[in-house]
Amino acid sequence: MTTLPRYIAVEGPIGVGKTSLTRRLADSFNYDLVLERPEENPFLERFYRNPQQHALATQLFFLFQRARQLQELKQDDLFEPVRVADFLIDKDRLFARMNLDPDEFGIYNNVYDHLTIDAPTPDLVIFLQAPTPILLERIQKRGIAAEQTITADYLENLNNAYTEFFHYYDKSPLLIVNSSEIDLVGNDSDYEQLLQQILSGLHGVQYFNPKPTLL
């Protein structure tokens, strides 16, 4: 009998579909939902307009927010909950390294090291990938005002940083999903194939390559 992962984290660059998949998985498994709340970050829109000036404040706000959410998860472990999240605390440093200058990164690292001690580790991480043009198209389509100034160059750098990060990630079983040609929210066949792979039991690094749907 397959044991379901009790804590799933869905990750990937901006616009790849993390939150939509997270919501659907939570509904399928009846899991608690843990979502990032970028709309609460008062610096985010200013960061996209002027990254150099607002990067440190933006990163520290997100770090405090994510660490607080994970601390709440750890306290809830007494009740043995199951949950799915649309972020992985480890990736926070990925954004910081990309956006901060060396002095700012030093400040950030000091705070990070104190906040992320004993952060719970997911039983499964799902990494969603998509090429930069598709990410840009999805960002424009969903129309979140703060994101409309994101450039293709920024997304390309972010995509590369994510790929490098997960190339070395080994804390949890990792399922890598190329989401460019599939629709895990609107296409039930694609989603059911993903569920089957999750239910089959995952170890190490695996790739989700769905079979084409026959019309």
Domain residue ranges of the chain, discontinuous segments joined by +: 7-208
User: Is pLDDT at 166 greater than 90 in this prediction?
Assistant: yes
Angle at the Cα of 135 (from 131 to 140), degrees rounded to 5?
150
CATH number of 7-208: 3.40.50.300
Confidence of residue 215 (pLDDT cuts 50, 70, 90): very low
Q: For residue 176, what pLDDT band results from cuts at 50, 70 and 90?
A: very high
Binding site, annotated residues for ATP = 12-20, 138-142
Q: Mean pLDDT in the chain?
A: 88
Model confidence at 1: pLDDT above 60: no
**Predicted confidence band at 76 (pLDDT cuts at 50, 70, 90)?**
low
Among 163, 174, 159, 181, smallest CA distance to 9 is for 174
pLDDT (tens digit, 9 = 90+) per residue, 133-162?
999 999 988 888 878 888 899 999 999 999
In this prediction, residues 172-180 reach a mean pLDDT of: 93
Average pLDDT over residues 5-19: 93
Annotated binding site, which residues? 12-20, 138-142
Task: Give mean pLDDT, residues 167-190.
Answer: 91
Q: Judge whether 197 and 191 are in contact, CB under 8 Å.
A: no
pTM of the complete model: 0.90
Task: Report, as an integer, the average pLDDT of 195-203.
Answer: 87
* Residue 86: active-site member: yes
- Model pLDDT for residues 15-73, shown as the tens digit of each residue: 999 999 999 999 999 998 999 899 899 999 999 989 889 999 999 999 999 888 888 87
Catalytic residue among 86, 90, 92, 190: 86
Q: Please report the pLDDT score of residue 72 as a whole number.
A: 80
Q: Is the pLDDT of residue 77 over 70?
A: no
Q: Is the pLDDT of residue 214 over 60?
A: no
DSSP for 84-133 reads EES--GGGHHHHHHHHS-HHHHHHHHHHHHHHSTTPPPPSEEEEEE--HH
pLDDT of residue 110: 93
